[in-house]
Amino acid sequence: MLVEEKWEDILLTLKNEYELSQIVYESWIEPLKIYQIDNNILYILVPPEQIALNYISKKYTTPLKVVIAEFTGVNYEIKFILPEDTKKIKPAKSIALQPNEQTQKENYDLNPNYTFDTFVVGNNNKLAHTISLVVAEEAANPEKKFNPLFLWGGVGLGKTHLMHSIAHYILANHPQLKIQYVNSEVFTNEVIDAIRTGSNSQMNALRDKYRNIDVLLIDDIQFVIGKDRTQEEFFNTFNVLYNAGKQIVISSDKPPKEMTTLEERFRSRFQWGCMADISSPDYETRMAILRKKEEMDNFQLDNQITEYIATNIKSNIRELEGALNRLMAFERLTNEEITIDTAIEQLESIINPDSHKTITPELIIEIVAEHFQKTPDQLISKSRSSDIVKPRQIAMYLCKNMTGTSLSGIGEILGGRDHSTIIHGIEKVEKDIKKNKETKKLIETIQKKINPN
Ligand code: ADP
Ligand code: MG
């Protein structure tokens, strides 16, 4: 996921997770803009005073990193800059704030972390990895037997990672070669666009873009299949490049012979070169991937926890990483070392997605209301009568202890109450539980209703 696309959500999440007040948010956080991304460095423009910069970088660097990692899985180094600093930064390959200058952006629309260095080789992907490396190395004079290279395998098993690795390798080692990496969904949209405008020059520009190159990498070809015009456009491009001896790399979630709607002439063409599949990683490979990622993120989990993840998440590497990202974000948020119990709890929804309903504040309010024969609306209402205040406070207490919702989040859901009201309510229940066995029992009963497991 691109950090630029998610920027607004990232900032809002930062606000919620760290319970920033509206004024803090508006003064410091909302104005932050991505200036540039250069490999793993994220340059962020701050409002133009040195004091603001010092303050923001002291207070918000870590929180921002955590939230960005949660959204993107990438651990960016963050550099806050002032407008006058921008002159000192050498332009990266992609400049987020200046779309006009994104010349050949498509070429470089690559995840900086998807390189051969970070790709863990296991039994499941050995062949695909070796051939990809050869293809990258020999890109100037492709070997016929590896052209086209057709990579196939299930979702989240590393096809895109390998394709980006090939692209990075060529950019670094054969800078004279013109390459084009594209997801076939993007390609489809480009074709549709050119057709829709009916402009010859646009169609010509598109053809030029994909035919006047040395290496074409087209990801997730399955999106093109069955879309007549796009498919036709792609195969014409394919032929032009192939006949000119240019390297083509294709990925798909299925082997050509299973692409039943694919015309025979195309199917056989894909099989001219080389097909390499990526299958699900075995346990050792899953462990190695987790370890590699821990090392890259400078994050260390207890062995038992890593083993727990590798044992329980088997078929999708993206989920494997998702589990690790979740724990990493949790540790950085709470500043507590993760134990196996917290890990099991935190990963419940990934590892046992169907075991029970996710516990949300809404669910809690509903069950508490029902238990006291009230309606959720009454709990949320302004009423201060004691038969409503008590269940409301219990709901506050349970929301805090059974969900990850922030205090202000709880306040919002419970009828827009402020932070201090929520704290007061929770403390009241905590005291009651200590003083009074009945209350303790009551809370346990409601808790069981909410979470029977
Ligand atoms: P696909 O394109 O096959 O759906 P991706 O290439 O997007 O899968 O991989 C999903 C995630 O798993 C990515 O974050 C990628 O970096 C990671 N990944 C996949 N295979 C490996 C591997 N062999 N070593 C390290 N990370 C991997
Ligand atoms: Mg992919």
Please say whether the dihedral angle defined by the alpha carbons of residues 24, 25, 29 and 31, taken in this order, is positive or negative: negative
Question: Pocket of ligand 1, candidates 74, 317, 321: which has the most ligand atoms within 8 Å of its Cβ, to mutate?
Answer: 317
What confidence tens digit (pLDDT) does each residue in 201-244 have?
A: 999 999 999 999 999 999 999 888 888 889 899 999 999 999 99
Query: Which protein residue has the closest C-alpha to ligand 1 atom 11?
Result: 318
The pLDDT score that the predictor gives to residue 75 is 82
Return the H-helix or E-strand segment holding 219.
Answer: strand 215-219
CA 287 to each of CA 125, 301, 327: distance values in angstroms, whole numbers, following the listed order: 15, 12, 16
Please say whether the dihedral angle defined by the alpha carbons of residues 5, 7, 12 and 14, taken in this order, is positive or negative: positive
How far apart are alpha carbons 162 and 107 in whole angstroms? 16
Query: Which protein residue has the closest C-alpha to ligand 1 atom 26?
Result: 119
CA of 207 to the centre of ligand 1 (A): 30
Q: Among 18-22, 182-186, 419-423, which stretch is predicted with the lowest mean pLDDT?
A: 18-22
Q: Which residue has the tokens 């070429």?
A: 107
What confidence tens digit (pLDDT) does each residue in 145-158 have?
A: 999 999 999 999 99
The structure tokens listed for 185 are 């969904």
Question: Pocket of ligand 1, candidates 126, 151, 161: which has the most ligand atoms within 8 Å of its Cβ, to mutate?
Answer: 161
Residue 190, judged by CB atoms within 10 A of its CB (0-12, 13-18, 19+), counts as buried
Q: Which residue has the higher pLDDT, 18 or 406?
A: 406
How far apart are alpha carbons 415 and 418 in whole angstroms? 9
Residue by residue, DSSP assigns 185-209 as HHHHHHHHHHHHHT-HHHHHHHHHH
Return the H-helix or E-strand segment holding 130.
Answer: helix 126-137
Q: Which ligand is nearest to the CA of 164?
A: 1
Residues, beta carbon < 5 Å, ion ligand 2: 159-160
Q: Which ligand is nearest to the CA of 153?
A: 1
Pocket around ligand 1: residues whose beta carbon is below 6 Å from it?
114, 118-120, 125, 153, 155-161, 289, 317-318, 321
The pLDDT score that the predictor gives to residue 439 is 92
Asked if residue 1 has pLDDT above 70, the reply is: no
Q: Which ligand is nearest to the CA of 322?
A: 1
The region that residue 156 occupies, defined by phi over 0 for left and psi between -120 and 50 for alpha, beta otherwise, is left
Sheet containing 33-38: which strands, arranged edge to edge? 33-38, 41-45, 77-81
How far apart are alpha carbons 428 and 312 in whole angstroms? 40
How far apart are alpha carbons 277 and 386 in whole angstroms? 65
CA of 228 to the centre of ligand 1 (A): 30
What confidence tens digit (pLDDT) does each residue in 344-383 have?
A: 999 988 887 665 567 889 989 999 998 898 899 999 999 9
Average pLDDT of the chain to the nearest whole number: 88
Asked if residue 179 has pLDDT above 90, the reply is: yes
Q: What is the dihedral of CA 291, 297, 302, 306, to 10 degrees?
A: -40
